[in-house]
C-alpha cells in the first residue's frame, strides 16, 4: 500500500526527489511486510484441544459420571467426577481422546 502511494506521488514530484520518494516507499513496504509477518506468527488462531479447554458447556444428558455436553452447538461425550444434571453449566478442564473432562462452572458474574 505504501509503495503504491509512493509511485503515484512520484509522478507529481520533480527532479531527483521522485526517485527518493520511491526508494522510501520500497523501504516502508519491506518494513510493513516484516512487521505483518511477525504479527501473523504471534497471533495464531487457536484450534483443536487448546481452543476447547476453559470453555463453558451445557450438560445435555446427566453426567453420572459419563454423559453428553453441548459446546458451540456440538455434542461431546464428557466425564464429570462430581456429576451434573441436564442444563447445568460446566467448564472444560482437559481432553482425554475425544472425551471432555469437565467440572461445575462457577456462577456467571
**In terms of pTM, does the model score above 0.75?**
no
| Number of Cβ within a 10 Å radius of residue 4 | 10
Read off the CATH number of the domain in which 70 is found: 2.40.50.140
pLDDT at 54: 92
The domain in which residue 10 lies consists of 2-42
Cβ atoms of residues 46 and 28 within 8 Å: no
In 3-state terms, the chain is what percent helix, strand and coil (to 5)? 35, 30, 35
d(CA 29, CA 92): 44
Range with the poorest average pLDDT among 33-37, 40-44, 90-94: 40-44
Is 109 contained in some domain? no
With cut-offs at 50, 70 and 90, classify the pLDDT of residue 21: very high
Q: Do residues 100 and 53 share a domain? A: yes
Amino acid at each position: 500500500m505504501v509503495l503504491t502511494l509512493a509511485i503515484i506521488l512520484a509522478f507529481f514530484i520533480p527532479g531527483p526527489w521522485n526517485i527518493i520518494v520511491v526508494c522510501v516507499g520500497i523501504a516502508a513496504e519491506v518494513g510493513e511486510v516484516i512487521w505483518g509477518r511477525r504479527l501473523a506468527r504471534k497471533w495464531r488462531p487457536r484450534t483443536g484441544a487448546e481452543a476447547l479447554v476453559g470453555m463453558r458447556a451445557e450438560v445435555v444428558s446427566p453426567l453420572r459420571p459419563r454423559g453428553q455436553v453441548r459446546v458451540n452447538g456440538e455434542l461431546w461425550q464428557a466425564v464429570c467426577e462430581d456429576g451434573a444434571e441436564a442444563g447445568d453449566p460446566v467448564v472444560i478442564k482437559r481432553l482425554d481422546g475425544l472425551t471432555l473432562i469437565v467440572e461445575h462452572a462457577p456462577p456467571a458474574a
